[in-house]
Amino acid sequence: MPVGYFGNSFRDQRDGRSARTPSASRLPVWASLGLSLLLACLAVALRAPWTLAALAGVNLLYLVLCRVGCGLLRKAMRGLVWQTAILLGLHCLRFGAEGVYPALRVSSQLFLAFLPGMIFLASTGRSELVRLASGVLPPTGAFVLGASLHFVPLLVREVKGIYHAQVLRGARILPIDIFKPWCWPDWVGCLIVPSTVQALAMAGEIAMAARARDFGACRHRTCWPGNALRPDPEREP
Amino acid sequence: MISEKRLTLRDSLFIGFCAVFIVIFRMAFRWHLGISGHSMFYTISLLLLARGCVSFPWSATFAGALSGGMALMLGLGKGGPLILAKFLFPALVVDLAALICPLFFGSYLAVALVAALAAATKFFNTALMDWLVGMETVMILQHALIEAAGAVFFGVAGSLFVPAVLRKLKARGVI
């Protein structure tokens, strides 16, 4: 049911926490965003191994402050292992043994550039993100940005499902097949086209769900004000 | 393709997905292998897909602006605020081409030509960046040409699947 995208039945991408639940982070959203951007920029700018190690420590502290579970870290580490293996292979092919250190450095830099953004997205509620973006973007633009960022993990899961189903059907879209030009039509017909259809369908369902909740009825306000979702301290016993 | 003046919420969300994927790919493929212009492979293909699937005349520019803004916030690229131009210039070329010849998405040759023109805008970005850091004119031209040649190669390679995808989507009545 499309409207479920914005209802309580839809669980956000974070460990079963409802999408409408405000952030559990100890940091305010704007501070969390600023810290996340700073850490991502530092990961790109820093080169020395000890600075990267220190940055990894700061990232762990950020993870604890944002109260994100270890599941996210485990998922990120799995990606790191794959990425390091690919980069080591590519760098060794191009530079020989001298490519080992740059490959490890680039891989850890990429990991540290990705991790703060993942923590920020996992620890911030969708409505909070949209409210934050509303300050700098037009209302529709803020909603589009917030919704796109939050539904991309779901879309990636759907694309993975399509990929596995097509592999089971015998489509020649395994990673090795990317180097075989005669398999490229399978990539287009069995993966890219269904994934584009899925993205269009998901966009249509999100738009329908938003309209069902009067999105666009008021020209300027497109998200609930911040205190509507937060418990009122005066009402609490 | 009939162009609509108004951008619907569904179309803008699809464009948003394209923009997010451009940034994700750009982050994921920062492999520092010394291969110039490889980011144009997915940038051009996703910009073409955003314009081809949506009838709004400036949809590629919208996708470029969104992805450029996100890349700017994430500190991607070496040019600081100039990173916005890296996404906006190719997107403008795609949109202008679609305005001039709306049916170009059906032809492999026309799509490759538009992709080459869009990717070649990297010449101006690189030249501007080099000029700002104070390089000599000859060096600027050489460097910008090398970068643009790589970008054109990867941009054209990435664009070649777009006509097939759009044809299949049209045949199934999705767009």
Clarify whether residues A142 and A116 are in a common domain.
Answer: no
Give which of B56, B49, B5, B8 is closest to B169, Cα–Cα: B49
* Residue A29: inside a domain: yes
* Residue A48: inside a domain: yes
Give which of A159, A151, A160 is closest to A206, Cα–Cα: A151
Residue B98 has pLDDT above 80, yes or no: yes
**Average of pLDDT values for A13-36?**
63
Give which of A215, A35, A34, A21 is closest to A127, Cα–Cα: A21
B5-41 tens-digit pLDDT: 678 889 999 999 999 999 888 877 776 666 778 889 9
Reading the block at residue B88, the tokens are 């906006």
Between these two residues, B69 and B98, which has the higher pLDDT value?
B98
Q: pTM score, two decimals?
A: 0.76
Domains of chain B: 9-171 (1.10.1760)
- Contact present, A55 and A112 (Cβ < 8 Å): yes
- Contact present, A78 and A118 (Cβ < 8 Å): no
Query: What are the Cα distances from residue B104, in Å, to A4, A213, B98, B174?
Result: 39, 38, 7, 19
Residue A111 has pLDDT above 50, yes or no: yes
**Average of pLDDT values for A46-74?**
87
Clarify whether residues A99 and A173 are in a common domain.
Answer: no
Give which of B31, B22, B99 is closest to B64, Cα–Cα: B22
Looking at the partner chain, which of A110, A117, A199 has a beta carbon nearest the beta carbon of B17? A199
- Residues with Cβ within 8 Å of A221's Cβ and at least 6 positions away in sequence, in order, are A139
A146-182 tens-digit pLDDT: 888 888 889 999 999 999 999 999 999 998 888 888 9
ipTM of the complex: 0.87
Clarify whether residues A32 and A103 are in a common domain.
Answer: yes
B142–chain A Cβ distance below 8 A for any pair: no
Least confident of A11-20, A37-46, B12-21: A11-20
B15–chain A Cβ distance below 8 A for any pair: yes
User: In the prediction, which pLDDT does A70 show?
Assistant: 80
- Contact present, B115 and B46 (Cβ < 8 Å): no
User: In the prediction, which pLDDT does A226 show?
Assistant: 55
**Average of pLDDT values for B136-158?**
89
Q: How far is C-alpha B112 from the geometric centre of its chain's CA atoms? A: 13
User: In the prediction, which pLDDT does A223 show?
Assistant: 61
**Average of pLDDT values for B132-156?**
86
- Quote the domain boundaries for residue A4: 1-12+126-230
B61-84 tens-digit pLDDT: 999 999 988 887 766 655 556 788
User: In the prediction, which pLDDT does A198 show?
Assistant: 92
A73–chain B Cβ distance below 8 A for any pair: no
Best A38, A107, A196, A202 residue to mutate vs chain B (most B CBs within 10 Å): A196
As for how many domains chain A has, the answer is 2
